[in-house]
Amino acid sequence: MTGTRFSAAAFFVALLALASADPAPAAPYDCSNIDIDGHKYDISAFKPNTYTVTGEPVASHPNKFRSDYTLNPCQAITIPEGQELSHCTAGAWVCQDVMILLEGDKTQTVYLNTIAGSAPASDKTPAREVAPATARADKIDDIKELPWNLTLKGGNVQGKDKSAVITFICDESVTDDKVGPTLSPYSDDAAYYFTWKSKVACPLAIPLPVQQGMSGFGVFMTVLIVLGLIYVIAGAVYNHQVYGAKGLDLLPNLDFWRDVPGLIVDLARQLWESVTGRSSGSHGGYQSV
């Protein structure tokens, strides 16, 4: 009895341990293998490029300002050697360049803000992770395929957390993977929103299962059935046209098919007698000569 109680207690302890265990870690983000509601996406064609999104000028007397954005949806932005001062810090996936518009189409950078990216901890700020996450977006009326969102976190601007949300829209007409996103007209205090139309954003085609050919037996049975149908139909037409037959009399060689069950029984009896050594005509004893 004590052993039974101990086993039951151990069983419940094991259940509690399983319930309290941390869930398995999610697979690392891979832009070539994105799964959303069973649909597969591959946007790795964007990975080699750094995309620039030009914002709208904003007047603030006596100057005009503009915020441009550079981003990569697959990895941190690659900073060319020797240009570290004109880019966000290493690890940024989305960088905001706030600039003053000068005369002669010249610009001067005022701030560089990391909107999304990863960064190690420092004396004043904790470590930040970009933590890419994908999800289905709301349906757009004139778009056949459902759009989807890529959310990139880890941004920090003046002590406030920031993130970027990129809405990918399947557009078969945009075949150039160097065409980047546009800045959405709406934003909030925590996130910046982008819209990206491209053929690359379309779901991958689901491969159909390979149809295997029929086996030799299957081919034989198919041919046999087809020949049988031809035999029955042709014979029925002939009997009707020549003899005016109707009903079962339409079947060709009807007398033969009626005798088939008896023939099968006789064949089975003969096989049985040959195997067992018995004969229906012998009754044992002597026979007169």
Within the chain, how many helices (H) and strands (E) appear?
3, 12
Identify which has the larger pLDDT, 159 or 41. Answer: 41
CATH top-level class for 34-201? mainly beta
The answer on pLDDT for 184 being more than 70 is yes
pLDDT band at 281 (very low <50, low <70, confident <90, very high): low
Coil vs helix vs strand at 97: strand
pLDDT of residue 99: 93
Strand, coil or helix: 7: helix
Q: Is the pLDDT of residue 8 over 50?
A: no
Region 165-187 average pLDDT: 92
In DSSP terms, which residues pair with 170 in a beta bridge?
Answer: 198
Confidence of residue 25 (pLDDT cuts 50, 70, 90): low
Angle, CA 16 vertex, CA 14 and CA 21 arms, to 5°: 95
pLDDT at 212: 62
pLDDT at position 113, please?
A: 94
**Which of 48-57, 138-147, 215-224 is predicted with the least confidence, judged by mean pLDDT?**
138-147
Which two three-digit tokens encode residue 84? 């570290």
**DSSP label at residue 119:** B
Highest mean pLDDT among 43-52, 132-141, 211-220, 258-267: 43-52
Q: Which helix (H) or strand (E) holds 172?
A: none
Q: What share of the chain is helix, strand, coil (3-state, %, to 5)?
A: 30, 25, 45
For residues 105 and 96, give the distance between their C-alpha atoms in angstroms, rounded to a whole number.
19
Structure tokens at 191: 């996130």
In terms of pLDDT, which residue wins out, 273 or 11? 273
H runs (alpha helix) in 78-181: none
| pLDDT top residue among 11 and 51 | 51
pTM: predicted TM-score of the whole model, two decimal places: 0.63
| CB within 8 Å of 132: residues ≥ 6 apart | 29, 150, 151, 152
Token match 């065409």: residue? 179
pLDDT of 186 higher than 50: yes
pLDDT (0 to 100) of residue 210: 53
Residue % of the chain over a pLDDT of 90? 40
252 pLDDT band, cuts 50/70/90, is confident
Amino acid identity at 65: F
In order, the DSSP letters of 232-276 are HHHHHHHHHHHH---GGGGSTTHHHHHHHHHHHHHHHHHHHHHHH
Alpha-carbon distances of 262 from 228, 251, 258, rounded to whole Å? 21, 19, 8
Buried b (16+ CB within 10 A) or exposed e, 31-54: beebebeeeebbbbbbeebebebe
DSSP lists the bridge partners of residue 246 as none
What's the average model confidence in pLDDT over 24-42?
A: 86
Residue 39 has pLDDT above 70, yes or no: yes
> For residue 146, what pLDDT is reported?
85
Nearest alpha carbon to residue 88 among 75, 100, 103, 71: 71
For residues 58-79, average pLDDT: 91
Query: 80 or 258: whose pLDDT is higher?
Result: 80
Residue 105 pLDDT greater than 60, yes or no = yes
Which range (102-111, 118-127, 211-220, 276-285) has the least confidence? 276-285
For residue 62, is pLDDT > 70?
A: yes
Can you tell me which residue has the tokens 């034989």? 220
pLDDT tens sequence across 205-229: 765 455 566 778 888 888 889 888 8
Interatomic CA distance for residues 175 and 194, integer angstroms: 19
Q: Residue 92's CB: how many other CB atoms inside 10 A?
A: 27
Average pLDDT taken over every residue of the chain:
82
Q: CB–CB of 114/154 below 8 Å?
A: yes
CB atoms within 10 A of CB 79: 19
